[in-house]
Chain A
């Protein structure tokens, strides 16, 4: 059926000089309002959370300076899981899933905080974490693309194995960091913002550009939208898949440094349940689990919603069970709102 959809003709008015180059304003313009419109549900949830905060803890939520410092705490707590969720966004958009993120974070944190690594100094520690994450991601991607394993299986195996390797290397002990340049990462501020939050922001912006403005992002979305069509259009699907999982691994490496700095240690327990939290954030952020489409902004908002809920419960001195219930309710509510919006768009203007 070809029911006409009432869409204005958006075709550019014709070729002109503007098509030959690009300017930043033009570059961002097309999608400027897109994230807000698409993630309206999450924005509403966040507003409701702030309203609850203002009602239950006016001493925090209605005082600019205390609200600011509380929100900086929330952003800082969201930063490491946020970076992981951003990597996960690419994976899910390409139609895959990465269950190994929490374990890769643990492995990278442990590998970069052994006594031997610490003896080489901060730069080596950072490099080790990034490399461990990326290489493990390449292994994931290779198993999936060239070994033709289901992403769920391949990354499940990696999840178990990486956690085990992390325990083996650390001897199940908590490896305290004595290199101050690393622990400083969690304490330093840049322009009044915690460095961790700045890292989170930079990763998010880079990821946005990567997803929406590069050939790599386009390939990732095409593979998730219709893998066979992408392959028959000449896209190197396998190589792109390896890169996608490598990117997810790299994000785990970055997050490992962040967690190591925050927790002042490397441990095989780091990143516990990060895979579930990241997947949940990406999904409520509006990325289709089947792949094809999704947004970085949505994933970031998804992480913020979860972190804000936890914060709200703790400042109100409520026990953990209420938090878990609330998180479940929010997942369902946010997804329902998204679906409602999608189906009302599909029905067209009534």
Chain B
């Protein structure tokens, strides 16, 4: 079976004029989509552009109000996810719908267990699961292991295995790379190429433009519920063109200009980390952050970067070494003390670590400071709302209105809420125009762990501007990211981490993407100059 045969000219799926409305919003407004057998068709668009709704239409979760959907030459309309699966369309959502407590085999055959007379035939299921995993080139994943014990990348493979077990002809993947480290993404791509070579079509959704060029054949861009570009060639369409199709902006705007600063002032730096270690996580890490400076740590998941950040913050006790703020030592393993001293953290997992999703925006913004707004232990809701509203305006939070639940916000705006949490100055009454903390008091050092995870391109630029402005106002920022361009574009100074060690430290201007990537991945150690 050659590639030219499988990529026949007749599309396996074509959508025309798909419309889907929800109360108060037209989520899809005449969407076109054409997918060929054996291609990787990338779907691009900002959050809220309608990608999720479109996926759910394909998966049979939503029924479109208008438009036609032709699947393998026949007009279809799926009235349930089961119908879509049976027709050969499988969807792998970003939050994988795997059951952690079940084994790999049980997950793969979930809902269509191999059974005889009501008894599950474990042996047969194990063998079937093994066969599916082999097809994916991952016979190394043990079929009897509980899924909860697998790393994220392996879970992704299991999800794909489940889709294959349904004989899927079209695989819809919603941001599969978001939770994967760099080498795991490479492996994922290998598996996808293998599938497409057998004629299976893939709809691939991502925020990472460079991935589109690497894996994609054609690109369809969504903007505000409409298709703003159809079937662009993935390899030859320029990034600036893609971004402008999504946003109307060009890519230069993404990173704010660095502020030229005079030479480092005298006196101790704002944050000093000296020989900090935790067994199995990181070893003898030393670094400094000065007021007004953004320091970026480049490193993959597992390099010890998030653990380092949490240890500096006191969320994990250090085993040796110390953390000093303004020359004063912080007690290890005590978050409240760190917060009192002026540290703030925007953690990696926004939903599980940072936000109370059911609560209104303002209560999330004031989560760290409500006690300071209180008088004699009595909280002041209206004051909190006023202060939070100022912060929200300051950060251009969309939509306005701080009493709506934070879960109704997009990822980028949720991240702004988390940042805003650390900008409140309890000592300054609202209305004085200085609700935000000044550099000399309140939060003086922000720790940002993957600040733009799951945030779309337009909102990212917004966040970058906010972070840069905070630094300009005197805040110290220590940021961790697995996206090298982000670190290089935003930070003043960069530390590269791998396997729990800092391999290199240099001003961002002196580094380029290839050099850092080389260090971050198992690159040559010859260039290492220890800090």
Residues of A within 8 A of B (CB): 1-12, 14-16, 18-20, 22, 26, 30, 213-218, 221-222, 225-226, 228-236, 292-293, 347-350
Contacts and interface: CB of A to CB of B under 8 A. Distances in A.
A215 B366 CA distance: 12
Interface in B369-408: 370-371, 374, 377-383, 385-386, 389-390, 392, 399-405, 408
A8 B399 CA distance: 11
B381 A228 contact: no
B383 A19 contact: yes
A4 B386 contact: no
Given A7-B401, A10-B401, A348-B24, A232 B370 contact: no
A4 B403 contact: no
B336 A235 contact: yes
A3 B25 CA distance: 7
A215 B374 contact: yes
B150 to A, nearest CB: 22
A234 B358 contact: no
Contacts of B368: 233-235
B429 interface: yes
B98 interface: no
Nearest to A219: B371
A229 B367 contact: yes
Contact of B340 (A6, A234, A347, A350): A234
Contacts of B430: 15, 19
Contacts of A230: 356, 367
Interface in B430-462: 430-431
A350 B400 CA distance: 22
Contacts of A30: 381-382
A229 B386 contact: no
B52 A7 contact: no
Interface stretch (B164-172, B252-260, B347-355, B467-475): B347-355
A281 to B, nearest CB: 22
A2 B368 CA distance: 26
Contacts of B400: 9, 11
Contacts of A14: 386, 431
B409 interface: yes
B47 interface: yes
The 9 closest A-B pairs by CB, nearest first: A15-B431, A234-B339, A225-B356, A10-B403, A9-B401, A233-B368, A233-B367, A11-B389, A15-B430
Given A233-B339, A234-B340, A236-B336, A1 B431 contact: no
A233 B372 CA distance: 13
Contacts of A3: 22, 24-25, 27, 408
Contact of A215 (B340, B358, B370, B389): B370
23 contacts: A3-B22, A4-B399, A7-B404, A9-B401, A11-B385, A11-B389, A12-B385, A14-B431, A19-B430, A213-B378, A214-B379, A225-B356, A229-B356, A232-B335, A232-B353, A232-B354, A233-B368, A233-B421, A234-B368, A235-B368, A292-B359, A349-B23, A350-B23
B345 interface: yes
Contacts of A292: 356, 358-359
Nearest to A29: B382
A231 B356 contact: no
Contact of B53 (A1, A8, A26): A1
Nearest to B354: A229
B386 A12 contact: yes
Nearest to B383: A19
B404 to A, nearest CB: 5
Interface in B281-339: 313, 315, 335-336, 338-339
Contacts of A1: 48, 52-53
Contact of A225 (B359, B382, B385, B389): B359
A231 B354 CA distance: 9
A213 B52 CA distance: 39
Contacts of B379: 213-215, 217-218
A253 B315 CA distance: 36
A221 B367 CA distance: 11
Contacts of A236: 336
Contacts of B239: none
A95 to B, nearest CB: 12
A232 B53 contact: no
A226 B356 contact: yes
Contacts of B52: 1
B389 A12 contact: yes
Nearest to B380: A22
Contacts of A213: 378-379
Given A2-B408, A213-B378, 18 more contacts: A3-B408, A10-B402, A10-B404, A15-B390, A22-B380, A26-B382, A214-B378, A216-B377, A217-B379, A218-B370, A225-B356, A225-B358, A226-B356, A232-B347, A234-B368, A292-B356, A293-B358, A349-B23
Nearest to A288: B358
Most chain B CB inside 10 Å of its own CB: which residue of A7, A12, A214: A12
Contacts of A221: 359
A16 B431 contact: yes
A336 to B, nearest CB: 20
A229 B367 CA distance: 9
A222 B371 CA distance: 12
Nearest to B374: A215
A18 B410 CA distance: 32
B353 to A, nearest CB: 5
A11 B402 contact: yes
B357 interface: yes
Nearest to A348: B23
Contacts of B48: 1-2
A324 B256 CA distance: 67
Contacts of A350: 23
B377 A215 contact: yes
Contacts of A349: 23-24
A4 B315 contact: no
Nearest to A15: B431
Contacts of B367: 222, 229-230, 233, 235
